[in-house]
């Protein structure tokens, strides 16, 4: 179908009328599609949220601007008028939208990104001529994971640049896109184990590892450390009972590392503190990130109790990254 | 990684048939998330329910990553199936296009409860009964 632009039909409704009005919009809207924008309240940490039942909800649908558009708009108006007889309803708002290449337009939000002193993140649709010292990470923004835009990831990349020594054994716990594991490999690590307890992360990380040709150095696997094995998804908060599980050995790798990067969240770091300490060689270093400033003391206390000694502290905005050494 | 939630968007789409065209493009494009990755994921996950409307809840984070979670079909879709009709009435106060029983109403309310802004089954039933009324579907004992 050839269209040059679209008519957006938007209406504000109370939460109880969402289904009713959505049904009407779906009857007329392009591809039966309806957008529902409902107010929400964020949790204190991580991805949890709750819908706010006291705020109105916006519903939107789209009509191709063609010869029938005015007739269809009137039909919607008519049907909503009937709903309005039994439920409160805001007035219909319309605006026209130009046709866009939506399949590719999101790419404009991304560019070649320099992180730290030498690390460059390059999306696959862009070209980049690397400088002699550059560590180039080829990463596309995907579904479940970003691309180093987040301060917690930037803090980790900076620290990896400073701390990775050639030939080291490195663990990337909660690897996500694999970005930190790939950076460690390109910075000269000998062997890198990338773990995540989300199977989608494991798949995405493996794709990125292959794209960056570091498959010889980096092994990616689904799993965690110690009590982390019983935790479910990192961010779910469903920690379960602490049952240590020596899953690391199943992957045929030594469970001791020269360097661990754990870009997680505060409460997960606290839960895993003893396991992180055990997984380090004596003198080994732990980079912990994803710590929101108000939780920093709690995390630091858990690490000290686990026999780790604070070495460095980096801050970006409200996010803190810590470096500890196993005594 | 700690991720900050920046937006939550729900979309009602025909199962397996999402495209980057509206409503997906305009609804998600402004957040800079990978639209094609979303379309692929939605169509893969919803393919088994082809022929139904399958709503999806997309949580978008500050690093432009996102999570898509399929929800239960809209009440209107379940009501249409229960009443055995193709579409709702265009003049619902005047026309009755179909009927469902109280038991069917309760069953739909139970199925929808996890995704509704209702604290209990009675409230859920009330909301769904309202949807039925506005579609011209009558509830019979």
- Does A141 sit within 8 Å of B34, measured CB to CB? yes
Structure-block tokens of residue A196: 């995540």
What pLDDT sits at residue B89? 67
Q: Are A76 and A21 in contact (CB under 8 A)?
A: no
pLDDT band at B41 (very low <50, low <70, confident <90, very high): confident
What pLDDT sits at residue A245? 43
What pLDDT sits at residue A9? 95
Q: Closest by alpha carbon to B13, among A147, A133, A224, A30?
A: A30
The pLDDT > 90 percentage for chain A reads: 47
> Is A109 part of the contact surface with chain B (CB cutoff 8 Å)?
yes
What pLDDT sits at residue B3? 66
Closest Cα in chain A, distance from residue B141 (Å): 22
Evaluate if residue A202 carries a pLDDT over 70: yes
Evaluate if residue A32 carries a pLDDT over 60: yes
Evaluate if residue A237 carries a pLDDT over 60: no
Least confident of A51-55, A253-257, B60-64: A253-257
Contacts of A154 (CB under 8 A, 6+ apart): A115, A116, A148, A316
| CB-nearest partner of A47 from B3, B88, B117 | B3
What pLDDT sits at residue A322? 97
Evaluate if residue A269 carries a pLDDT over 50: yes
Evaluate if residue A292 carries a pLDDT over 60: yes
- Does A263 sit within 8 Å of B1, measured CB to CB? yes
Q: How many CB pairs under 8 A join A and B?
A: 205
* ipTM score of complex: 0.81
What pLDDT sits at residue B91? 63
List pLDDT tens digits, range A4-28.
799 999 999 988 888 889 988 998 9
Contacts of A272 (CB under 8 A, 6+ apart): A173, A224, A225, A226, A227, A228, A262, A264
List pLDDT tens digits, range A187-200.
999 999 999 888 87
What pLDDT sits at residue A249? 45
pLDDT band at B13 (very low <50, low <70, confident <90, very high): very high
List pLDDT tens digits, range A204-231.
899 999 999 999 999 999 888 877 776 5
Higher-confidence residue: A2 or B46? B46
What value, to the nearest 5°, has the Cα angle with vertex B70 and ends A60 and A152?
90
Closest Cα in chain B to A81: B91
Q: Are B135 and B79 in contact (CB under 8 A)?
A: yes
> Is B25 part of the contact surface with chain A (CB cutoff 8 Å)?
yes
Q: Closest by alpha carbon to B15, among A206, A287, A151, A26?
A: A26
List pLDDT tens digits, range A159-193.
999 999 999 999 999 998 899 999 999 999 999 99
What pLDDT sits at residue A143? 53
């Amino acid at each position: 179908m050839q269209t040059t632009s679209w008519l957006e039909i938007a209406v504000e409704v109370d939460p109880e009328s969402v289904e009713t009005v959505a049904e009407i919009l779906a009857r007329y809207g392009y591809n039966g599609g309806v957008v529902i924008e409902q107010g929400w309240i964020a949790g204190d940490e991580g991805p949890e949220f709750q819908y706010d039942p006291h705020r109105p909800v916006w519903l939107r649908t789209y009509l191709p601007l063609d010869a029938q558009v005015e007739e269809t708009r009137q039909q919607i108006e008519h049907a909503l008028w009937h709903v309005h007889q039994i439920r409160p309803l805001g007035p219909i708002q319309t605006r026209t939208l130009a046709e866009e290449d939506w399949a590719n337009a999101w790419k404009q939000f991304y560019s070649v990104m320099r992180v730290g002193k030498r690390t460059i993140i390059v999306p696959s649709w862009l070209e980049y001529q690397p400088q002699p010292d550059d560590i180039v990470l080829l990463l596309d923004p995907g579904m479940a994971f970003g691309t180093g835009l987040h301060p917690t990831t930037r803090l980790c990349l900076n620290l990896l640049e400073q701390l990775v020594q050639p030939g080291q054994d490195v663990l990337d716990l909660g690897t996500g896109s694999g970005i930190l594991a790939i950076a460690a490999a390109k910075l000269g690590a000998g062997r890198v184990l990338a773990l995540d307890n989300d199977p989608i992360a494991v798949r995405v990380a493996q794709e990125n590892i292959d794209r960056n040709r570091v498959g010889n150095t980096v092994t990616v696997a689904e799993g965690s450390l110690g009590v982390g094995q019983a935790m479910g998804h990192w961010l779910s908060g469903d920690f379960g009972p602490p049952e240590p599980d020596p899953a690391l050995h199943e992957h045929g790798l030594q469970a001791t590392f020269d360097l661990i990067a754990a870009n997680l969240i505060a409460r997960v770091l606290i839960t895993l503190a003893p396991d992180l300490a055990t997984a380090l060689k004596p003198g080994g270093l732990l980079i912990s990130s994803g710590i929101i400033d108000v939780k920093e003391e709690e995390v630091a206390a858990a690490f000290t109790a686990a026999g780790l000694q604070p070495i460095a502290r980096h801050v970006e905005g409200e996010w803190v990254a810590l470096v500890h050494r196993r005594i | 990684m700690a991720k900050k939630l920046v937006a939550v968007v729900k979309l009602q789409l025909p199962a397996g048939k999402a495209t980057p065209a509206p409503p997906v493009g305009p609804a998600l494009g402004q957040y800079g998330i990978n639209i094609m990755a979303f379309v692929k994921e939605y169509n893969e996950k919803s393919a088994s329910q082809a022929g139904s409307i399958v709503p999806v809840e997309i949580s978008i984070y500050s690093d432009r990553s996102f999570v898509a979670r399929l929800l239960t079909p809209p009440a209107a879709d379940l009501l249409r199936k229960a009443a055995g009709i193709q579409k709702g009435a265009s003049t619902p106060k005047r026309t009755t296009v179909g009927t469902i029983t109280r038991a069917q109403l309760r069953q739909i309310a139970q199925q929808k409860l996890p995704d509704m802004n209702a604290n209990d089954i009675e409230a859920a039933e009330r909301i769904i009964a309202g949807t039925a009324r506005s579609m011209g579907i009558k509830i019979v004992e």
